[in-house]
Amino acid sequence: QVQLQESGPGLVKPSQTLSLTCTVSGGSISSGDYFWSWIRQPPGKGLEWIGYIYYSGSAYYGPSLKSRVSISVDTSRNQFSLNLYSVTAADTAVYYCAREVNVPVGNGDAFDIWGQGTMVTVSS
Amino acid sequence: EIVLTQSPGTLSLSPGERATLSCRASQSVRSSSLAWYQQKPGQAPRLLMYGASTRATGIPDRFSGSGSGTDFILTISRLEPEDFAVYYCQQYDFRPLTFGGGTRVEIK
């Protein structure tokens, strides 16, 4: 059973970099069948997809954060990571890592496995 | 970017009642490339439905989905106590993948 677990600081100062890691267990990140995504949810609000990475290192970012985000992968550790630069209070949210799977109906991917999420607060 | 608008924002119902949740897209979502998720407090979302009407593994048949183009519906035929939660739709036709703002189903 594949599981995802986020880790990283729960508090980040404004203008600094938010860095999180997602560890994949129970399966290989290098299987090639999935994209590995980051999604965030501000307190009391909805979900925002940040971007994904493929095991090869190819990444794709959503437009709203594209100028401040990078996602990387470490296949030897079965992990992928998120860096969000120059954060502000608006970046305070629960950050989820999730597995994107190409579902058999439709044109793309849904998120079938999620980490439990980690709350990150941006504050001095 | 495809914007998804969910309505109502909150649905107040009693156990055993039928829930009807709406998700409207700002442009046509091809091939019914729409998924639904359930989120309970303090938990990650859980995939309920994809392809607008196909239940994900382990999802009970009281959950059903319908719709195409720009209008989609999630129906819970008879609400069980564990169904009171927030529900999100998500389109996967175009990048960026986008979610609706959610519908909260609360106990009346």
The pLDDT tens digits of the residues spanning B73-83 come to: 999 999 999 99
Judge: A49–B97 Cβ closer than 8 Å, yes or no: yes
B74: nearest Cα among B83, B86, B87: B87
Question: Is B46:B58 a contact under the CB 8 Å cutoff?
Answer: no
Q: What is the CA radius of gyration of chain B?
A: 13
Using pLDDT thresholds of 50, 70 and 90, give the confidence band for residue A106. confident
Which residues 19-58 of A have a C-beta within 8 angstroms of B? 46-49
A36: nearest Cα among A104, A105, A108, A114: A114
Using pLDDT thresholds of 50, 70 and 90, give the confidence band for residue A108. confident
Q: Which residues of A touch B101 (CB under 8 A)?
A: 46
Residue to test with chain B: of A107, A113, A118, most B Cβ within 10 A: A107
CA distances from B56 to A85, B23, B70 (A): 36, 18, 22
pLDDT digits (tens, 9 = 90+) for A12-62: 999 999 999 999 999 999 988 899 999 999 999 999 999 999 999 999 999
Residue B31 has pLDDT above 90, yes or no: no
Amino acid at B47: L
Q: What is the structure's pLDDT at A31? A: 85
Q: Which residues of A touch B88 (CB under 8 A)?
A: 46-47
Question: Is B39:B77 a contact under the CB 8 Å cutoff?
Answer: no
Q: How near does any CA of chain B get to the CA of A65, in Å?
A: 11
Residue A107 has pLDDT above 90, yes or no: no
Select the residue of A105, A110, A116 nearest B90 (Cβ to Cβ): A110
Q: Which residues contact A89 (CB under 8 A, 6 or more apart)?
A: A14, A122, A123
Q: What is the structure's pLDDT at A65? A: 95
Q: Is B86 helix (H, G, I), strand (E, B) or coil?
A: strand
